[in-house]
């Protein structure tokens, strides 16, 4: 949560460059923002509540020439969204922007108050600022002050610091929060992610945990905790700035939904024909744990279903923030699969670290190349879905499902469970999936029509069986997070054990039935809701087009039939588009839903 950027340049446009970069980080938090800049005489600061456009508006009324700036976009943790709580914070000689959480801020604050410091905000960051200032007052060495402060701070942080007496240099460090260094001829950057700087450079370095960086407009120097210089590889980013633009789409979410046919096809081409899973031997492990959050956890449920049903390998899926309570189950014979689009989710990172401590082997299914999770797992399988900007994930989820499919097919091969004919059929399907997914997208009118039926309702239910019940969970989350409609997802057979009491005349129920063997049972459950007045939207495949759905369905969505190795993908794409159209009709901020942030880097 929160995005930070620092830029120091030989020119005088640091504010406009930092602001442009900050806009690309807005997905990380958007309840307030701020910037500190050196105008040649002093460090000045501007802050605004709400979206970055409010900050931009304030800055547009000023005539600024500045060679160094640090900026921040916030997702509030300590203290309400307000200008006072917005970053940067300034105490004594130190100005700071921070992404993360200082866990021991309360005790540090008491210590600092006893030493005479005063605080204006409710934030943990102002305490960190004062603490760095205090350390600086003791040693009078800027890098050493940062090292000393970090030793006394518990928690997660990416820091960009400017000292008043050296206002064109940025000092930076990180622990458990991401930060990259960017290099250009005009100046150098430190930003939460590469998207903030790609318009200016594709040359970057990753900073290791507890590494310290001194950044001037012409030189970047890395240090370890002993202040010995270290060297960091300069990498070239493969993603380009155009991928961070809407490119004509109304929303990033829509663009990312439309990208799915290609993204999924690329994954199947890459990992099915030429998969490199030779080092994952399922039979070497006593137990398989799959751990993730939110939609990535829903993708994990699809993975678990496929693993159990087809590779006959039992697996446990756990929400990352709950995994530590299953600590007793982790052994050196555990295979942990962590799944994360951003590769920075704090709960997932904590789970992987715990498992590694206990000797488990950890595989990551990750999108963001070079992210913390991708660097800390024993083996990383990238989804290569490209940047995902909309806060609600779409291609992030489907690409995780696609990778799981290839992983399970590989496990089946390892166990001799895939005969030649079956393999040829599945291969043919997966290597030709794109037109089927394009067909799902082409039915936009159907989704809009359904959205018109449901958008004014208060409550909604999703039901399905087997793999469809996991897809329901994702469909329900998508609708909730972007349209703010209350929605619940239930295994179709479970509804009658209590929740059916909530169904009343007109309650929309989105029901999914894609599996022939479960079809009749699901239809019976749909009829149970219909008998109680539900308005039924039925999602099924073209394999069932001989059935007369009118008996139990008010509206029907037909997606192409595939094997279960890819069936979740077209179904969820239809649900994503229903959620999208519904949120649009409800006038919601689709790409930046209230209270959320894309990258959840706090536990
Ligand atoms: O980046 P990650 O995949 O680790 O993120 C996990 C969840 O925070 C994420 O899927 C979240 O649930 C999204 N808002 C869903 O759209």
Question: What is the tens place of the pLDDT at every residue in 486-497?
Answer: 999 999 999 889
Q: What is the dihedral sign for C-alpha 581, 585, 586, 590?
A: positive
Crossing angle of helices 568-585/395-414, nearest 10°? 170
3-state secondary structure 205-264: EECCCCCEEEECCCCEEEECCCCCEECCCCEECCCCHHHHCCCCCCCHHHHHHHHHHHHH
Q: Ligand 1 pocket, 99 CB below 6 A? A: no
Rounded to the nearest angstrom, the distance between the alpha carbon of 397 and the centre of ligand 1 is 9
Residue of 491, 460, 465 lying closest to 476 (CA atoms): 460
Q: Ligand 1 pocket, 525 CB below 6 A? A: no
**Topology of the domain comprising 3-242:** 3.60.20
Most ligand 1 atoms within 8 A of CB, residue of 298, 341, 344 to mutate: 341
Q: Ligand 1 pocket, 293 CB below 6 A? A: yes
Q: Ligand 1 pocket, 600 CB below 6 A? A: yes
Q: Ligand 1 pocket, 296 CB below 6 A? A: yes
Lowest-pLDDT choice from 42-46, 214-218, 276-280:
276-280
pLDDT tens string 508-520: 999 999 998 999 9
Report helix, strand or coil for 389. coil
% the chain with pLDDT above 70:
99
CB-based contact 414:282 (threshold 8 Å): yes
Q: Could you count the other beta carbons within 10 Å of the beta carbon of residue 41?
A: 7
pLDDT of 231 reads 92
Q: Ligand 1 pocket, 301 CB below 6 A? A: no
The minimum-distance atom of ligand 1 relative to the CA of 295 is 10
The minimum-distance atom of ligand 1 relative to the CA of 599 is 1
Going by pLDDT thresholds of 50, 70 and 90, the confidence category of residue 548 is confident
pLDDT tens string 208-244: 988 999 999 999 999 999 999 999 999 999 877 778 8
What would the mean pLDDT of 338-361 be, rounded to a whole number? 96
Q: How far is CA 99 from the centre of its chain?
A: 15
CB-based contact 27:591 (threshold 8 Å): yes
Rounded to the nearest angstrom, the distance between the alpha carbon of 144 and the centre of ligand 1 is 37
Residue 370 confidence (pLDDT) above 90: no
Rounded to the nearest angstrom, the distance between the alpha carbon of 498 and the centre of ligand 1 is 29
pLDDT tens string 143-186: 999 999 999 999 999 999 999 999 999 999 999 899 999 999 99
Atom 16 of ligand 1, nearest CA residue: 392
Render the burial of 186-213: b for 16+ CB within 10 Å, e for the rest.
Answer: bbbbbbbbbbbbbbbbbbbbbbeeebbb
CB-based contact 126:196 (threshold 8 Å): no
Pick 436-593's CATH classification: 3.40.190.10, 3.40.50.2000, 3.40.50.10490, 3.90.79.10: 3.40.50.10490
Most ligand 1 atoms within 8 A of CB, residue of 75, 295, 597 to mutate: 295
Q: Ligand 1 pocket, 476 CB below 6 A? A: no
Residue 543 confidence (pLDDT) above 90: no
% the chain with pLDDT above 90:
85
Looking at residue 195, the DSSP 8-state letter turns out to be: G
pLDDT of 275 reads 62
pLDDT tens string 46-55: 999 999 999 9
Atom 14 of ligand 1, nearest CA residue: 392
What would the mean pLDDT of 391-416 be, rounded to a whole number? 95
**Topology of the domain comprising 246-432:** Rossmann fold (3.40.50)
Residue 276 confidence (pLDDT) above 70: no
Query: What's the rounded Cα separation, in Å, for the pair 446 and 177?
Result: 42
CB-based contact 300:284 (threshold 8 Å): no
275 carries an active-site annotation: no
Q: Ligand 1 pocket, 348 CB below 6 A? A: yes
- Strand 43-49: give its sheet, edge to edge: 43-49, 32-38, 68-74, 3-9, 187-191, 180-183, 203-206, 235-236
Rounded to the nearest angstrom, the distance between the alpha carbon of 445 and the centre of ligand 1 is 28
Query: What's the rounded Cα separation, in Å, for the pair 553 and 523?
Result: 10
Cα-only R_g, the chain: 25
**H helices then E strands: how many in the chain?**
18, 25
pLDDT of 274 reads 58
**Token couple for 242:** 């155009």
Q: Ligand 1 pocket, 345 CB below 6 A? A: yes
What would the mean pLDDT of 188-202 be, rounded to a whole number? 94
C-alpha to C-alpha distances, 525 to 471, 528, 558, 601, nearest whole angstrom = 17, 5, 19, 40
What would the mean pLDDT of 570-597 be, rounded to a whole number? 95
Query: What's the rounded Cα separation, in Å, for the pair 234 and 476?
Result: 42
Query: What's the rounded Cα separation, in Å, for the pair 529 and 176?
Result: 47
CB-based contact 178:372 (threshold 8 Å): yes
Q: Ligand 1 pocket, 342 CB below 6 A? A: yes
Residue 602 confidence (pLDDT) above 80: no
Q: Ligand 1 pocket, 475 CB below 6 A? A: no
Extents of the domains making up the chain: 3-242, 246-432, 436-593
Rounded to the nearest angstrom, the distance between the alpha carbon of 385 and the centre of ligand 1 is 14
Q: Ligand 1 pocket, 474 CB below 6 A? A: no
pLDDT of 201 reads 96
What would the mean pLDDT of 252-280 be, rounded to a whole number? 89
Most ligand 1 atoms within 8 A of CB, residue of 396, 400, 476, 601 to mutate: 396
Residue 444 confidence (pLDDT) above 90: yes
CB-based contact 160:70 (threshold 8 Å): yes
Q: How many residues does the chain have?
A: 603
What would the mean pLDDT of 379-402 be, rounded to a whole number? 96
Q: How far is CA 297 from the centre of its chain?
A: 12
Rounded to the nearest angstrom, the distance between the alpha carbon of 263 and the centre of ligand 1 is 18
Rounded to the nearest angstrom, the distance between the alpha carbon of 294 and the centre of ligand 1 is 5
The minimum-distance atom of ligand 1 relative to the CA of 392 is 16
pLDDT of 76 reads 81
Q: Ligand 1 pocket, 160 CB below 6 A? A: no
Most ligand 1 atoms within 8 A of CB, residue of 393, 470, 597 to mutate: 393
Residue of 119, 98, 63, 124 lying closest to 176 (CA atoms): 98
598 carries an active-site annotation: yes
Report helix, strand or coil for 102. strand
pLDDT tens string 67-89: 999 999 998 888 888 999 999 99
Q: Ligand 1 pocket, 406 CB below 6 A? A: no
pLDDT of 181 reads 97
Rounded to the nearest angstrom, the distance between the alpha carbon of 296 and the centre of ligand 1 is 6
Rounded to the nearest angstrom, the distance between the alpha carbon of 441 and the centre of ligand 1 is 23
Query: What's the rounded Cα separation, in Å, for the pair 206 and 344?
Result: 14
Query: What's the rounded Cα separation, in Å, for the pair 478 and 394?
Result: 9
Rounded to the nearest angstrom, the distance between the alpha carbon of 215 and the centre of ligand 1 is 32
Q: Ligand 1 pocket, 399 CB below 6 A? A: no
Pairing of strands 459-464, 486-491: parallel
What would the mean pLDDT of 91-108 be, rounded to a whole number? 96
End-to-end CA distance of the chain, in Å?
11
Going by pLDDT thresholds of 50, 70 and 90, the confidence category of residue 273 is low
pLDDT of 261 reads 98
Active-site annotation holder among 2, 68, 293, 472? 2
Mean pLDDT of the chain: 94
Active-site annotation holder among 51, 214, 395, 598? 598
Q: Which helix (H) or strand (E) holds 109?
A: helix 105-114
* Same fold across 246-432 and 436-593: yes
**Token couple for 13:** 């446009």
Residue of 411, 412, 431, 408 lying closest to 420 (CA atoms): 412
Query: What's the rounded Cα separation, in Å, for the pair 216 and 500?
Result: 63
Crossing angle of helices 420-430/395-414, nearest 10°? 160
């Amino acid at each position: 949560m929160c995005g930070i950027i620092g830029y120091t340049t030989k020119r005088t446009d640091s504010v406009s460059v930092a602001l442009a970069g900050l806009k690309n980080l807005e997905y990380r938090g958007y309840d307030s923002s701020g910037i500190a800049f050196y105008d040649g005489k002093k460090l000045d600061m501007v802050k605004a509540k709400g979206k970055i456009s409010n900050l931009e508006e304030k800055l547009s009324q000023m005539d600024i020439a500045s060679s160094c700036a640090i900026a921040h976009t916030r997702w509030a943790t300590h203290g309400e969204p307000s200008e006072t709580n917005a970053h940067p914070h300034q105490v004594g000689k130190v100005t700071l922007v921070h992404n993360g959480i200082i866990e021991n801020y309360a005790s540090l604050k008491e210590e600092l108050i006893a030493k005479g410091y005063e605080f204006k905000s409710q934030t943990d960051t102002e305490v960190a600022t004062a603490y760095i200032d205090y350390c600086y007052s003791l040693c009078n060495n800027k890098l050493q002050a940062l090292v000393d402060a970090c030793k006394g701070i518990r928690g997660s942080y990416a820091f960009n610091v400017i000292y008043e007496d050296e206002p064109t240099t940025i000092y930076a460090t990180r622990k458990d929060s991401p930060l990259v260094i960017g290099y250009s001829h005009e100046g150098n950057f430190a930003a939460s992610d590469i998207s903030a700087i790609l318009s200016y450079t594709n040359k970057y370095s990753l900073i290791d945990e507890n590494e310290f960086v001194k950044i001037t407009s012409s030189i970047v120097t890395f240090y370890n905790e002993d202040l010995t210089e270290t060297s960091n590889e300069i990498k070239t980013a493969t993603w380009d700035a155009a991928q961070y633009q809407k490119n004509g789409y109304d929303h990033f979410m829509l663009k990312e939904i439309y990208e799915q046919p290609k993204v999924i096809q690329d994954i199947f081409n890459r990992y099915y024909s030429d998969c490199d899973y030779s080092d994952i031997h399922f039979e070497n492990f006593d137990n398989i744990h799959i751990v993730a959050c939110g939609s990535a956890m829903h993708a994990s449920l699809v993975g678990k279903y496929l693993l159990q049903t087809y590779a006959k390998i039992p697996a446990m899926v756990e929400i990352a923030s709950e995994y530590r309570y299953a600590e007793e189950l982790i052994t050196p014979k555990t295979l942990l699969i962590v799944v994360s689009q951003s590769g920075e989710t704090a709960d997932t990172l904590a789970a992987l670290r715990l498992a590694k401590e206990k000797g488990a082997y950890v595989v990551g299914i990750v999108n963001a190349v070079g992210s913390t999770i991708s660097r800390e797992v024993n083996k990383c399988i990238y989804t290569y879905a490209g940047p995902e900007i909309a806060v609600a994930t779409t291609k992030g989820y489907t690409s995780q499902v696609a990778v799981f499919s290839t992983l399970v097919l590989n496990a089946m091969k390892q166990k001799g469970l895939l005969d030649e004919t079956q393999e040829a059929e599945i291969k043919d399907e997966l290597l030709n999936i794109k037109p089927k997914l394009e067909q799902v997208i082409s039915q936009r009118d159907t989704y809009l029509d359904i959205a018109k039926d449901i958008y004014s309702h208060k409550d909604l239910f999703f039901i399905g069986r087997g793999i469809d019940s996991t897809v329901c969970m994702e469909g329900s989350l998508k609708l909730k997070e972007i349209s703010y409609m209350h929605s619940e997802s239930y295994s179709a057979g479970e509804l009658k054990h209590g929740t059916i009491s909530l169904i009343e005349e007109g309650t929309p129920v989105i029901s999914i039935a894609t599996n022939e063997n479960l079809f009749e049972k699901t239809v019976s459950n749909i009829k149970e809701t219909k008998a109680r007045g539900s308005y039924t939207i039925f999602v099924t495949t073209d394999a069932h087009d001989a059935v007369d759905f009118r008996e139990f369905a008010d509206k029907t969505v037909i997606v192409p039939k595939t094997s279960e190795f890819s069936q979740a993908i077209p179904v969820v794409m239809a649900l994503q588009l229903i959620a999208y159209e519904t949120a649009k009709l409800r006038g919601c901020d689709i790409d930046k839903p209230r209270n959320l942030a894309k990258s959840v880097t706090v536990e």
